Amino acid sequence: MKHYTLHDLDALDRIFRNNLINSATGYKSANLLATQSRNGNTNLAVFNSVTHLGSNPPLLSFILRPTTVARNTYKNISETNYFSINHINSNIIAQAHQTSAKYDSEISEFTKTGLTEEYLDDFFAPYLKESFIKLGCRYINEYLIKENNTIMIIAEIQHLYFMEDIEMTDGWLQLDKAQTVAINGLDGYALPSLLDRFGYARPEKDISSLLKTQDLIKY
């Protein structure tokens, strides 16, 4: 088994180290964050750091890199408080990755990638029409992570849209039915498939598969 120490990692080429560390921490969520500025310019950007924080209230977070350069997503959220999170599916991975290019704030990634803006229920920020799972979010708070000058954004989920046939009767969403992809490192896109789902684990109790419990499945 290959082994790197912290000293070894510090000595590596920057790009090599970025690829190594970003992929070593495991698969990440793959989402496109859509925003709109106060003057109507839209922005679409790929993020691999969206994380569930809690269900009541429904909160999530994501990480923004240091604002030493222009961050259009951050600027738009700071101005308006609203954004959408849109799952990347296997049909749009190339277009999704293209949104990581550094476009000027006046240029919409929707236009450059051929992806489609969609406005739902009078929500200020656009959604991605091609996405099968989308969340409308409102900015709540932010925290500076002083160790590397990144910013953690905390947001409230105000709207949730998804394909009806991916929801089980207990509320669980089967993401592989929506072709939701994951990100391996910074630039690898993978399509996970469900292996199993298990009931709540308790001491001295056998683990049971929920996939064999037919009453959880919607037909």
- Read off the pLDDT of residues 134-159 as tens digits, 9 standing for 90 and up: 999 999 999 999 999 999 999 999 99
| Residue 162 banded pLDDT, cuts 50, 70, 90 | very high
Q: How many CB atoms lie within 10 A of CB 212?
A: 9
Examine residue 11 and state whether it is found in any structural domain, yes or no.
no
Examine residue 147 and state whether it is found in any structural domain, yes or no.
yes
Examine residue 84 and state whether it is found in any structural domain, yes or no.
yes
Examine residue 17 and state whether it is found in any structural domain, yes or no.
no
pLDDT digits (tens, 9 = 90+) for 41-85: 999 999 999 999 999 999 999 999 886 666 899 999 999 999 999
Examine residue 8 and state whether it is found in any structural domain, yes or no.
no
Phi and psi at residue 3, to the nearest 5°: -135, 130
Secondary structure of residue 215 in the 3-state scheme: helix
Examine residue 175 and state whether it is found in any structural domain, yes or no.
yes
Encoding tokens for residue 157?
């989920």
- What is the spatial distance between Cα 119 and Cα 115, in angstroms, rounded to a whole number? 13
Examine residue 181 and state whether it is found in any structural domain, yes or no.
yes
CA distances from 104 to 63, 99, 108, 112 (A): 21, 12, 8, 12
Find the mean pLDDT for residues 22-38.
96
Q: What is the CATH number of the domain that holds 169?
A: 2.30.110.10
Domain that holds residue 40: 26-216
Q: Give the chain's domain count.
A: 1
Contact between 31 and 88 under an 8 Å Cβ cutoff? The reply is yes
Examine residue 3 and state whether it is found in any structural domain, yes or no.
no
* Average confidence score pLDDT of the chain: 93
Residue % of the chain over a pLDDT of 70: 95
pLDDT value, residue 26: 96
CA distances from 179 to 93, 162, 173 (A): 11, 12, 12
pLDDT value, residue 70: 63
What is 56-87 written as a DSSP string?
TTEEEEEEE--TTS--HHHHHHHHHSEEEEEE
